[in-house]
Amino acid sequence: MADKIQELRPKIVPLGDRALLVRFATSLSAEANAAAIGFAQNLADAPPQGALEIVPSLVSVQINYDPTQISGSQLSAELSLRYWGMKAEPSGPARTWKMPTRFGGAAGPDLEAVANSLELTVNQFILAHNAAELRILATGFAPGFVYAGFHEANLQVPRRAKVRDHVSPGSILFAVGQTAIAATPIPTGWHVIGQTDFRNFDPSMQPPTKLRAGDRLIFEAVS
């Protein structure tokens, strides 16, 4: 693994005049995601001069900087040095979260259709879904919204053709080999398969979100 991460050869590109984006891939993979999480952690442990915010995403890391402290090209060079000198090991043990979830019924109106499309019974689907080794891939899109992956090839479904204007906080969403958790009311084109009481966003708390990219996630069916 130690040498493998560097093989991804990230591209460092400007995101406007006060942010850089370190992109590890143009499509989602476990390797690119792990590299983004690892590099963001490395930077957060010792932020480069002028860096204001370090934000890991699915396959990239956004670095917002103060252009009066460092130029984009200087920071880009600094990021290159940091990346090529980085050890691949994650900086701490992964935390594990249990996510008690009510599957199906009013809590998961799309569960049956999803199971049918995979030629599984609802119970078979729930068992397969909850047996997956899932990790938080990224926080993004909306407050406290997390993507978790990856499911095996036999649990892949596309997004829904129609976007729902509004799903409630705690909705468990499923599509494209991932499970996502809504923390606030959002529109979504993903399938709603369940509901959890867990809320990953509370702006009165410090920090306002609990789940971090890299954390393990175990779903448990409850009634």
Partner 1 sequence: MSAVIQIERAGPMTTVQDTGRRNALNHGVSASGPMDQSGFACAAAEITTSGRSGIEFTTSGVALRLLSGNLKIGGAGGKFFAQLNGAFLQWPLNRELVDGDVLDITPGPTGNFGYLRFDREMDIPLIMGSSATNTRAGLGGFEGRSLKADDQLSFTGKGESAPAPYHINPERSDPIRFIWGIHADLFDHDVRQNFVTTPFQVSGQMDRMGIKLNDARPVFAAGDNLVLVSDPVAPGDIQILGDGTPIVLMRDHQPTGGTHALPPF
> Is there a contact between 48 and 31 (Cβ–Cβ < 8 Å)?
no
Binding residues among 164-203 for partner 1 as defined by CB under 8 A:
183-184, 201, 203
Interface with partner 1 (CB under 8 A), residue total 39
Alpha-carbon gap, residue 12 to 3, rounded angstroms: 20
**Residue closer to partner 1, measured from CB, 103 or 145:** 145
**Residue closer to partner 1, measured from CB, 155 or 180:** 180
Please spell the DSSP secondary structure of 147-196, one letter per residue.
EEE---GGG--PPPSS-EEEE-TTEEEEETTEEEE-SS-EEESSEEEEEE
Pick the binder of partner 1 from 6, 15, 112, 216 (CB under 8 A): 15
Q: How far is the CB of 126 from partner 1 (least distance, A)?
A: 27
Place of tokens 């398969």: 193
Pick the binder of partner 1 from 8, 25, 75, 173 (CB under 8 A): 25
String of contacts with partner 1 for each residue 47-76, x by CB under 8 A: -----xxxxxxxxx-x-x------------
Q: How far is the CB of 27 from partner 1 (least distance, A)?
A: 5
Q: Within a 10 A sphere around the Cβ of 126, how many other Cβ atoms?
A: 21
Strands, sheet with 60-65, edge to edge from the N-terminal-most edge strand: 11-14, 19-23, 60-65, 51-56
β-sheet bridge partners, residue 21: 13, 62
Q: How far is the CB of 127 from partner 1 (least distance, A)?
A: 29
- Looking at 15-23, 91-99, 104-112, 148-156, which segment touches partner 1 (CB under 8 A)? 15-23
Q: Report the candidate in 204, 181, 166, 156 with the shortest Cα–Cα distance to residue 100.
A: 181
User: Where does this chain bind partner 1 (CB under 8 A)?
Assistant: 13-17, 19, 21, 23, 25-28, 52-60, 62, 64, 138-145, 183-184, 201, 203-204, 207-209
